[in-house]
Amino acid sequence: MENNPTQMTYRSAYSITGNRIMIDNETGKFFVSLAENNEFQQVIASLYDFVVDNNADADMAYDWVCDQLDISTFVADNYAWDMFYDVWQQAAEVADLDDAVIAGDSRY
């Protein structure tokens, strides 16, 4: 397996004050997870209705969250990603999205 120097890997941790943080495995630098951000929490709270109302697949829902927060990505933030995916999956099941879409099968 070839090492990609531009690909950063992160690990989840907690700061000494109890905040959820992500630590860069290469540099040791960290950032506070979006899961700690009130605006992110409000958008995630609205995500369920967005998915149900629009039959949004994961890509559409992810793009919507990023648009609402005016950010390009949060996929490296394990805590934020898990919050997003848990809400999306629950809403997708209620919205009766095709099981292949819920399972992440990109052919559908």
Q: Is the pLDDT of residue 5 over 80?
A: no
pTM above 0.85, yes or no: no
What are the Cα distances from residue 43, in Å, to 6, 38, 50, 58, 70? Answer: 30, 9, 10, 15, 11
Q: Is the pLDDT of residue 4 over 50?
A: no
Tens-place pLDDT, residues 71-81: 999 999 999 99
1 — pLDDT class (breaks 50, 70, 90): very low
Closest alpha carbon to 79 in 27, 23, 28, 26: 23
19: CB partners within 8 A, 6+ apart: 32, 33, 36
6: CB partners within 8 A, 6+ apart: none
Residue 23 CB-density burial (10 A; 0-12 exposed, 13-18 middle, 19+ buried): middle
Tens-place pLDDT, residues 16-62: 999 998 999 999 999 999 999 999 999 999 999 999 999 999 999 99
Tens-place pLDDT, residues 80-104: 999 999 999 999 999 888 765 665 5
Give the C-alpha separation, 102 to 105, whole Å. 8
Sequential DSSP letters for 43-62: HHHHHHHHHHHHT--HHHHH
H or E, element range at 35: none
